[in-house]
Amino acid sequence: MSPTSLADQLRAATARLTVAGVPSARHDAEVLAGHVLGLSRADVAVAALRGDDVRLDERFDDLVDERARRVPLQHLTGTAPFRDLELAVGPGVFVPRPETESVAQPAIDEARALVGAGRRPVVVDLCTGSGAIALAVATEVPGAQVHAVELSEQAVAWAAVNVARLAPAVDLRTGDASSAFDDLDGAVDVVVSNPPYIPPDQVPVDPEVRDHDPEVALYGLGADGLQVPRAVVVAAARLLRPGGLLVVEHADVQQVALLRTLTSSGLWREAAGHPDLTGTPRLVSARRA
């Protein structure tokens, strides 16, 4: 006999996902139930605690089966949280991670300070993907003029959906981060980027990342994975005004090498490495000399 209470159905789904190796099985079961019912995850959890008799239809079973095959949760719901935003995501675009929220923060702080000083800061997001960082800046610092570029046309399509819904004034372009925005040379206040940076010998273990995030958004090229991040640094040196801020995300093993790139060129000052909220080395920052 099939389970009838919401709590029983969630327990069964959690067990199915646990067997499949999904690390956040209960969380994902509740999110998928909420997606089907049109409720928040919190509302689902409360309804289950109350013992509500809610029969989830076949859509829920199908979604649980797909999640058990390690299709990303965000692809199944069509959304991914990023700071205060809900972004549209799916196949062809990198799913934004919580650690990148720490990368957005210095860019937001810098733009906010410039607005407070009576400026209209110009912020450029290189390798924007879904538009996560650009949209975080645009929505949290309304006075900022935000530009974003992405090489992948599939990712740009997702970013365009997010820009149209959340911040239509963002200037979104399709192109290469290393050559984009030549019309803004020397006029930018903040360059921020979460570029591809995974080294070729560090293939992600999680199937959700390895099999579903686009390779162009994962691998940074070169033996150390830093070819694209270094190209971002070069582009930022061209774009930033003197004193302008650069913020770049990187892998936990790359901070020393990326700082060496910044300090050896003579183009940067105040180069520093920073951790994310878990204490993992996650980003570097520097100011244009």
> Which SS3 state, helix, strand or coil, does residue 98 take?
coil
CA angle 242, 244, 250 (to 5 degrees): 130
**What is each CA distance from 87 to 25, 60, 131, 241, 250, in whole angstroms?**
22, 22, 8, 31, 22
- The kind and range of the H/E element at 120 are none
Question: Is 197 labeled as ligand-binding?
Answer: yes
φ, ψ of residue 241 to 5 degrees: the values are -75, 160
Return the amino acid letter for 163.
V
Is 194 annotated as ligand-binding? yes
Q: Tell me whether residue 219 is annotated as binding.
A: no
Q: From 246, 234, 244, 287, select the one nearest 125 (Cα to Cα).
A: 246
195 is in an annotated binding site: yes
Q: Pull the structure tokens for residue 271.
A: 């180069």
Estimate the share of the chain in helix, then strand, then coil, as percent rounded to the nearest 5: 45, 20, 35
User: What 3-state class would DSSP assign to 195?
Assistant: coil
Listed residue (101, 219, 260, 236) closest to 181, CA to CA: 236
Binding site residue list for substrate: 194-197
The binding site for S-adenosyl-L-methionine consists of: 150, 194
Point out the annotated binding site: 150, 194-197
